[in-house]
Amino acid sequence: MDFALSWEQTQLKEAAAGFLAALPSARDLLEGRGTLEDPAVWKRVAEEQGWPAILVPEEAGGFGFGQVELSVVFEEFGRTLTSCPLLGTAFATALLLECGDAQAQERWLGAIAAGEPAAVVWSGISAEEGPFGWTLEGQGVAVDGGMASLLVIVAPQGVFVLPADLADRTRVPHLDPTRPSVGVSVSAVPAERLTVDGLERARMRCESLLASEAVGAAEATLQLAVDYSRVRTQFGKPIGSFQAIQHICADMLLAVESARSAAWYAACAIDAGADDAREAARTAKAMACDALFHCAGQSIQVHGGIGFTWEHDCHLYFKRARSVMDLLGHPREHRAAVAQTLLGDA
Amino acid sequence: MDFALSWEQTQLKEAAAGFLAALPSARDLLEGRGTLEDPAVWKRVAEEQGWPAILVPEEAGGFGFGQVELSVVFEEFGRTLTSCPLLGTAFATALLLECGDAQAQERWLGAIAAGEPAAVVWSGISAEEGPFGWTLEGQGVAVDGGMASLLVIVAPQGVFVLPADLADRTRVPHLDPTRPSVGVSVSAVPAERLTVDGLERARMRCESLLASEAVGAAEATLQLAVDYSRVRTQFGKPIGSFQAIQHICADMLLAVESARSAAWYAACAIDAGADDAREAARTAKAMACDALFHCAGQSIQVHGGIGFTWEHDCHLYFKRARSVMDLLGHPREHRAAVAQTLLGDA
Amino acid sequence: MNLSFSAEDEAFRQEVRAWLDEHMVGDFARIRGRGGLGDMDAFVDERIAWERELAGGGWTCLGWPTEYGGRGASLFEEVIFYEEYARAGAPGRVGHVGEHLLGPTVIAHGSDAQKARFLPGIVAGTDLWCQGYSEPNAGSDLANLSTRAELRDGRWHLTGQKVWTSLAEQAQWCFALCKTDPTAAKKHHGITCLLVPMDQPGVSIVPIKQITGSSEFAEVFFEDAVTDKDNVVGPIHGGWRVAMGTLAVERGASTLGQQLAFVGEFDRIVAAAKETGAASNPLIRDRIADLHMRLKVMRLNAMRTLSAHAADRELSREASIVKLYWSVWHRDLGELAMDVLGESSAICDPRYEELHRLFLWTRSDTIYAGTNQIQRNLIAQRALGMPR
Amino acid sequence: MNLSFSAEDEAFRQEVRAWLDEHMVGDFARIRGRGGLGDMDAFVDERIAWERELAGGGWTCLGWPTEYGGRGASLFEEVIFYEEYARAGAPGRVGHVGEHLLGPTVIAHGSDAQKARFLPGIVAGTDLWCQGYSEPNAGSDLANLSTRAELRDGRWHLTGQKVWTSLAEQAQWCFALCKTDPTAAKKHHGITCLLVPMDQPGVSIVPIKQITGSSEFAEVFFEDAVTDKDNVVGPIHGGWRVAMGTLAVERGASTLGQQLAFVGEFDRIVAAAKETGAASNPLIRDRIADLHMRLKVMRLNAMRTLSAHAADRELSREASIVKLYWSVWHRDLGELAMDVLGESSAICDPRYEELHRLFLWTRSDTIYAGTNQIQRNLIAQRALGMPR
């Protein structure tokens, strides 16, 4: 038993941290130094780092690594609020992996492993089967959908894939300025239906990744608060020496470490195909999103007025915190689902 | 507009505080110095102080004072955790006042004003109408029911009154050692049915009284914590000088003062027959019980180990706090009812 | 206890209401509900015009003695005015600092010449004031000022930086706390209250962009800014008590009437919850009911405070309690505002723009005008008498 | 990451489980689940017999080196043992202080003669120890001791009072912290760890009744109690570091395995919620799910701590984090225990007696062995490096 990063995983974490630190920061992007969806950055992510290929099976041209490895990368993405856009691609990968048969995996996951960005529309679009196959109709929102060359659509009738240029896409203004969302609109557009019934498994993978991302972001907010509390002086002392500030930070640490335990375990359980993997992913999503929201809010409080300014990074984490809260299920909904398995129907 | 105790109300408050301070304390009773249900004490309460007669109309031999006056008394009862047993009698008074016609009021409220203690069974007993009138069947629990000479029974078929000696009564062991409860069992026992449909109004009065009692108790726990924090020294300073302890107590003060505002307003609204009296009573009950529970728990925390001993009064307030939480509706249920009026059906 | 307002107070309420109904028309109706907290940089020109409209009706400086152009209104009347003002959705006041901070200070501590010079412009709504208290290193520890002022050649010369100054661009005058005796043994000593004209080369203003994206506040830089030697309120080196005294009283009074503004926000969220279906979720319902109850109690607390202090207007103990209560409530409301929007809460929807703003803005409520940590310190030490 | 225990560890788990199944019978089966926190004064005689039964199986002092009669078990094995122990509902240990506090201290700091004298009785389950640390004026500020010890005529003479001592009546020995140099400049100095026989005229014991009505703890009064001059562990006047070092390590290790005991309590509450119908209330469901998740994570946190520190056994940083986490969780569980009982929650019902006890007892969890306030101080200063 070794519930810690392996040597390889630690290497991966450090490589990711190093790579991300050299990219334009969220702050840079917000102030127009670089763009959120930069094909050149994505090319480096795909070709130099190979992160889009982590989950893709070797047969489809990927590395066939596990959820744990991808989670390690996402924790670093969360810490820096990098978008890239890796999240959308990872969501699509999870759906294709769990809902695609071998042929679909080879085709579509092969494209992702080869560097095509992708994105997912989780709701708002429905499908109809006609004489010439399935067509899609409706509109939804896709995180990271602006650069995607591939769209995966979750419809009541199944999970569908299509080339992104068949859809109309428009940037959607969003509370979280560090991650682009697009509105996706389709009308009688043909799409390929994936045939394996793995939607819940795919959601579980996506929840786990969001949790890891949230853990990294939450830890960053704690670090900001602690660092500031050491240098900010009031009443002749660093504010970090006041018990009120110390206790806020101590509670943040508990939240961060506990969320990390939950997120790591979810990834492990998914890789191991454990019985409790579904619940573990819900636990991770709920606890990590709650932890991030708590920490991001408290970090503003510790910073005082400066934490409320646009110039400081506090708000970027706070907005990210609120925007991931509702992505793939509010913590409340995950608790309701866990209660259902514990207690049966209400 | 004068949202403060009047001169008369202040006199009443001081008289109650003085009277209660001279009685055996909750601690005395717990240690066997005096008894919880002492007819001699009750006689003094009824005859010297006349508190059972506060709400009773003058036509029925009472003072015809308002809910505010009775609330003032109950705040002091809460502070000292005195049982007496005035609460059961006040509950019965509220039901008789709101559900009894003039004749019933004269008979039964007259008895209460003359010094008969009473109690209420809120659930567990049902009524049946037969050729010789109504009879009762079932069992329930009555706060302060041990000494009562009069029982009021809330059944699905209406509100009923009977002489207490017609029922079997046995002391029920209870988390709260400062207020006696009895199990009441009746089988084919005749009772008089009250004819006015005032159950909700009566409940509102009773919730308001519980709220006032809780406010007094909550303030006592705050006072205990603040007093202790001034004299208890650790690390060379009184613990009350530590920010962590100060912030706990500051939050307690907010809870106490807000609960008092809510409780006073509920009593005023009832006396004024205000449109929002029903909601005001729910608000008072919910906020005061939450405040008392919060404060009683935090007071133990401020006291540290000594607060966890039987010898210290902290636990008496804590147990009272938990026991009134579920009496006449958990705060959660009152919020659900208020949500219903704000939002309609779920 | 008597919860009815007197017939006179009710008549006053009707008068306020009628005047507002009559005058909140045209351009003013267009800015209904704007310019409040979190929105203080909106429609500033219109709000300056509105300030003069108010002045024309005699509704500025209500609580000031009549000899200084006020109405000599009671604390009750002031609160009634604020309540009606909020109920009408009348726009955020640009004259706040003049009416509630500078004016009362001049009335209490100023010379006759200062009263004659400064008060009429505030009453008329023509002179706007901004507040120069906080500095980068003087936030919670406000006495830790580093803005220096020296008396040379018959004028005060100021050098330093102020932050969190609202309406700095529009104000003609700044009410600034400055260090005038850097050798004073305690840092609360050696501070002087100066009145400084804003329109001069030595004053520059840099807006601060908030997390909401708007800029309600600015940094104000004094680089050898000057003001006449007579523009001192209270004793030289004795400004700390002058500034703090007024601050405590006025922070208390001006928040007692704000509950009705919150009612509008709360109602908006309840409406959104019904629109989105969130209103059917029992956990959301529990929170809505809880916030509703606490909002009702906010007003009841205010009424108790009013009843206790209408005569002495001494609200310094209550100010911290009131601030802590409403800021926590408002923060919780801001969180609810997002939760009722459901799964697409983070997408900017013009229908719910104000809910996003509320969510973000409420994070400042637990910080400005004394953080919640400072308020709890004050409550413990002043209201509960706990040891320092 | 690898979340499987090794084959050896799994074999060890099976061995523990099998032994417990075989031996938790007869009188021992009758006291299943008893004697834990909040119940430490229950069935003491049976639990003393059980301690010897454990010793007979070689299950005491698992983590001690084999040369001192232990098994030399790894931290993993210790945790596995605690987990299985909890799963079996085996009764609360009476040998805790000897095995986890006194023994490791003697092993680390004691003389060979002390090792020979004191360790075998602990391993055999025949010598029980109690802890003499806290005093009325030394709680959070443990160094503020006033129990005095003086060396006279070849013996230590102790005078003073200890509190919160569990099993004082049954213990043969007390591990007492005493002030031996009252002139020391700092109060952490001048403290000595003494081993004191309990069965002597100078020692008297007064039980402390808790809010649960039971008496797990006692006050221990030393009135010229004596012990041999050699019964000192570690340096004279240098006992503070000796006592604290062991305390930190062992508090951490012994709590890592407790999650399974909590599982039993949680399951009991879930069952009660189903019986009473509370399980259908969405607000209760939300809290049950939340506590369930946090309980799962409690074990995950323990596994991460184990993974990080199995080799160095250095748990002082983690001890505060673990303590704060579980004590808050347990307090919340105690509140839920009442809430699932519904409107008659306060009536003592024999079926739910343990839920009442849990509710009351959990209020001590945030206090003893370092209040949550002290734990947060330690986390901030030690784990986060915030300034003192």
Domain final residue, candidates B194, B223, B243: B194
Does B221 contact D at CB distance below 8 Å? no
State chain B's maximal CA–CA distance in angstroms.
78
Q: Could you tell me which of B73, B82, B56, B54 has the C-alpha nearest to residue B9?
A: B73
- What residues in D contact C286, CB-CB < 8 Å? 283
Q: How far apart are CA B268 and CA D199, in angstroms?
A: 65
Check whether residue B321 and residue B262 sit in a common domain: yes
- A-to-B residue pairs, Cβ atoms closer than 8 angstroms: 8
Query: Is C373–A297 a contact, with Cβ atoms under 8 angstroms apart?
Result: no
How does residue D187 score in pLDDT terms, banded at 50, 70 and 90? confident
Check whether residue A221 and residue A183 sit in a common domain: no
Q: Could you tell me which of D326, D270, D321, D324 has the C-alpha nearest to residue D294?
A: D326
CB-CB contact of A72 with A9 (8 Å): yes
pLDDT, tens digit, for every residue of B318-339?
999 999 999 999 999 999 999 9
Q: Could you tell me which of B27, B122, B129, B124 has the C-alpha nearest to residue B81?
A: B27
Q: How far apart are CA B262 and CA D362, in angstroms?
A: 30
pLDDT, tens digit, for every residue of B71-115?
999 999 999 999 888 999 999 999 999 999 999 999 999 999 999
- What residues in B contact C296, CB-CB < 8 Å? 262, 279-280, 283
Report yes or no on D122 lying in a domain.
Answer: no
Report yes or no on D311 lying in a domain.
Answer: yes
Query: Is A301–C366 a contact, with Cβ atoms under 8 angstroms apart?
Result: yes
- What residues in D contact C281, CB-CB < 8 Å? 282
The contacts of residue B108 (CB under 8 Å, 6+ apart) are: B96, B100, B150, B161
Q: Which of D250, D265, D318, D354 is catalytic?
A: D250
Say if the ipTM goes beyond 0.95: yes
Check whether residue D262 and residue D223 sit in a common domain: no
Query: Is D1–A272 a contact, with Cβ atoms under 8 angstroms apart?
Result: no
D250 is catalytic: yes
Q: How far apart are CA A117 and CA A111, in angstroms?
A: 9
Q: Is the peptide bond before B131 cis (omega within 30 degrees of 0)?
A: no
Q: Read off the tokens for D47.
A: 């639990």
A53: which DSSP letter?
G
Q: In terms of CA atoms, which chain B residue is nearest residue D283?
A: B332
A13: helix, strand or coil: helix
Strands C148-152 and C217-228 turn out to be unpaired
Check whether residue B177 and residue B206 sit in a common domain: no
pLDDT, tens digit, for every residue of A33-67?
998 889 999 999 999 999 999 999 999 999 999 99
Check whether residue A87 and residue A121 sit in a common domain: yes
Which CA distances in Å does C162 have to B111, C226, C370, D344, D345?
72, 15, 16, 60, 57
At B114, the amino acid letter reads A
Check whether residue D140 and residue D231 sit in a common domain: yes
Check whether residue D234 and residue D166 sit in a common domain: yes
Q: In terms of CA atoms, which chain B residue is nearest residue D216?
A: B309
Check whether residue B313 and residue B180 sit in a common domain: no
Check whether residue A234 and residue A114 sit in a common domain: no
Check whether residue A173 and residue A204 sit in a common domain: no
Rounded to the nearest angstrom, the minimum Cα separation between A344 and chain B is: 21
In chain A, at which residue ranges do the beta strands (DSSP E only) sit? 118-121, 125-130, 133-143, 150-155, 158-163, 168-172, 181-190, 192-193, 233-234, 237-238
Q: Is the pLDDT of residue D310 over 80?
A: no
D191: helix, strand or coil: strand
Report yes or no on A247 lying in a domain.
Answer: yes
Check whether residue B240 and residue B274 sit in a common domain: yes
B140: helix, strand or coil: strand
How does residue C308 score in pLDDT terms, banded at 50, 70 and 90? confident
Strand-pairing partners, residue B154, are B159
- Residue A183: CATH number of its domain: 1.10.540.10
Identify the sign of the CA torsion D51, D52, D53, D54: positive
Does A172 contact C at CB distance below 8 Å? yes
Query: How many percent of chain B have pLDDT more than 70?
Result: 100
Per-residue pLDDT, averaged over A205-226, amounts to 98
- Residue A233: CATH number of its domain: 1.20.140.10
Q: What is the pLDDT of residue B20?
A: 97
Q: How far apart are CA D355 and CA D352, in angstroms?
A: 5
Rounded to the nearest angstrom, the minimum Cα separation between A187 and chain B is: 35
Q: What is the pLDDT of residue C247?
A: 63
Report yes or no on B140 lying in a domain.
Answer: yes
Supply the range of the domain harboring residue A328.
199-343
pLDDT, tens digit, for every residue of B304-315?
999 999 999 999
How does residue C369 score in pLDDT terms, banded at 50, 70 and 90? confident
Q: What is the pLDDT of residue D253?
A: 57
Identify the sign of the CA torsion D283, D285, D288, D291: negative
- What distance, in Å, lies between the first and last C-alpha atoms of chain B? 38
pLDDT, tens digit, for every residue of C145-198?
999 999 999 999 999 999 999 999 999 999 999 999 999 988 889 999 999 999
How does residue D46 score in pLDDT terms, banded at 50, 70 and 90? very high
How does residue D346 score in pLDDT terms, banded at 50, 70 and 90? very high
Phi and psi at residue A130, to the nearest 5°: -120, -175
Check whether residue D261 and residue D305 sit in a common domain: yes
Q: In terms of CA atoms, which chain B residue is nearest residue D38?
A: B308
Q: How far apart are CA C57 and CA B343, in angstroms?
A: 40
Query: Is A309–C210 a contact, with Cβ atoms under 8 angstroms apart?
Result: yes
How does residue D259 score in pLDDT terms, banded at 50, 70 and 90? confident
Q: How far apart are CA C344 and CA C147, in angstroms?
A: 47
CB-CB contact of A155 with A122 (8 Å): no
D275: helix, strand or coil: helix
- Residue C294: CATH number of its domain: 1.20.140.10
Does A66 contact D at CB distance below 8 Å? no
Q: What is the pLDDT of residue D247?
A: 62
At C47, the amino acid letter reads R
Report yes or no on B107 lying in a domain.
Answer: yes
Check whether residue A249 and residue A124 sit in a common domain: no
- What residues in D contact A6, CB-CB < 8 Å? 1-2
Interface of D with C (CB under 8 A): 281-283, 286
Average pLDDT across chain C, whole number: 93
Q: Read off the tokens for C321.
A: 């309690």
How does residue C250 score in pLDDT terms, banded at 50, 70 and 90? low
Q: What is the pLDDT of residue D306?
A: 86
Report yes or no on C102 lying in a domain.
Answer: no
Count structural domains, chain A: 2
Q: What is the pLDDT of residue D251?
A: 56
Q: Could you tell me which of D188, D169, D171, D170 has the C-alpha nearest to residue D179?
A: D188
- What residues in A contact B234, CB-CB < 8 Å? none
Q: What is the pLDDT of residue B270?
A: 98
Q: What is the pLDDT of residue D36?
A: 83
Q: How far apart are CA C181 and CA A255, in angstroms?
A: 47
Q: What is the pLDDT of residue D292?
A: 98
Report yes or no on A275 lying in a domain.
Answer: yes
C198: helix, strand or coil: coil
Q: Is the pLDDT of residue A273 over 60?
A: yes
Check whether residue D372 and residue D273 sit in a common domain: yes
Helices and strands counted in chain C (H then E): 13, 8
How does residue A240 score in pLDDT terms, banded at 50, 70 and 90? very high
CB-CB contact of A127 with A193 (8 Å): yes
Rounded to the nearest angstrom, the minimum Cα separation between C27 and chain A is: 29
A116: helix, strand or coil: coil
Per-residue pLDDT, averaged over C205-223, amounts to 95
Q: What is the pLDDT of residue B282?
A: 98
- Residue C148: CATH number of its domain: 2.40.110.10
CB-CB contact of A334 with A261 (8 Å): no
Q: Could you tell me which of B243, D17, D93 has the C-alpha nearest to residue A243?
A: B243
Q: What distance lies between CA D53 and its chain's CA centroid? A: 20
Count structural domains, chain C: 3
3-state helix, strand, coil in chain D (%, to 5): 50, 15, 35
Q: Which of B67-71, D35-39, D136-140 has the highest mean pLDDT?
A: B67-71
Check whether residue A187 and residue A204 sit in a common domain: no
B81: alpha, beta or left, given left = phi > 0 and alpha = psi -120 to 50?
A: left
Does A144 contact C at CB distance below 8 Å? no
Phi and psi at residue A138, to the nearest 5°: 135, -175
Report yes or no on B1 lying in a domain.
Answer: no
Q: Could you write out the three-class secondary structure of C3-57?
A: CCCCHHHHHHHHHHHHHHHHHCCCHHHHCCCCCCCCCCCCCHHHHHHHHHHHHHH
The contacts of residue C92 (CB under 8 Å, 6+ apart) are: C34, C35, C36, C37, C39, C40, C42, C47
Burial (0-12, 13-18, 19+ Cβ within 10 Å), A28: exposed
Query: Is A244–C210 a contact, with Cβ atoms under 8 angstroms apart?
Result: no
pLDDT, tens digit, for every residue of A281-338?
999 999 999 999 999 999 999 999 999 999 999 999 999 999 999 999 999 999 999 9
Q: How far apart are CA A77 and CA A327, in angstroms?
A: 17
Report yes or no on A84 lying in a domain.
Answer: yes
Q: What is the pLDDT of residue D125?
A: 96
Which CA distances in Å does D190 have to B23, D46, D109, D231?
49, 40, 17, 16
Check whether residue A205 and residue A175 sit in a common domain: no
Report yes or no on A1 lying in a domain.
Answer: no
Report yes or no on D255 lying in a domain.
Answer: yes
Q: Which helix (H) or strand (E) holds D50?
A: helix D44-56
Domain final residue, candidates A179, A194, A209: A194
Rounded to the nearest angstrom, the minimum Cα separation between D363 and chain B is: 7
Supply the range of the domain harboring residue D379.
251-383
Rounded to the nearest angstrom, the minimum Cα separation between D289 and chain C is: 14
Report yes or no on A21 lying in a domain.
Answer: yes
Q: How far apart are CA C80 and CA C299, in angstroms?
A: 12
Check whether residue C180 and residue C291 sit in a common domain: no
Q: Could you tell me which of D324, D252, D296 has the C-alpha nearest to residue A250?
A: D324
Check whether residue C368 and residue C287 sit in a common domain: yes
Check whether residue D255 and residue D231 sit in a common domain: no
Average pLDDT across chain A, whole number: 97
Domain final residue, candidates D238, D264, D280: D238
Q: How far apart are CA A188 and CA C85, in angstroms?
A: 54
Query: Is B242–A243 a contact, with Cβ atoms under 8 angstroms apart?
Result: yes
Which segment of A255-259, B27-31, B63-67, C129-133 scores lowest on mean pLDDT? Answer: B27-31
Query: Is C285–B237 a contact, with Cβ atoms under 8 angstroms apart?
Result: no
Domain final residue, candidates A168, A194, A220: A194
Q: Could you tell me which of A297, A287, A278 has the C-alpha nearest to residue A331?
A: A287
Q: What is the pLDDT of residue D244?
A: 83
Question: Angle at CA C348, nearest 5°, toward C346 and C353?
Answer: 110
The contacts of residue D18 (CB under 8 Å, 6+ apart) are: none
Check whether residue C37 and residue C156 sit in a common domain: no
Check whether residue D277 and residue D358 sit in a common domain: yes
Q: How far apart are CA A314 and CA A217, in angstroms?
A: 11
A51: helix, strand or coil: helix
Phi and psi at residue D318, to the nearest 5°: -70, -25
pLDDT, tens digit, for every residue of D60-80?
999 999 999 999 998 889 889
Report yes or no on D109 lying in a domain.
Answer: no
Q: Read off the tokens for B192.
A: 């008089």
Check whether residue A59 and residue A167 sit in a common domain: yes
Q: How far apart are CA A334 and CA D310, in angstroms?
A: 34
Say how many CA atoms lie within 13 Å of B20 toward its Cβ.
24
Check whether residue D268 and residue D175 sit in a common domain: no
Check whether residue C199 and residue C258 sit in a common domain: no
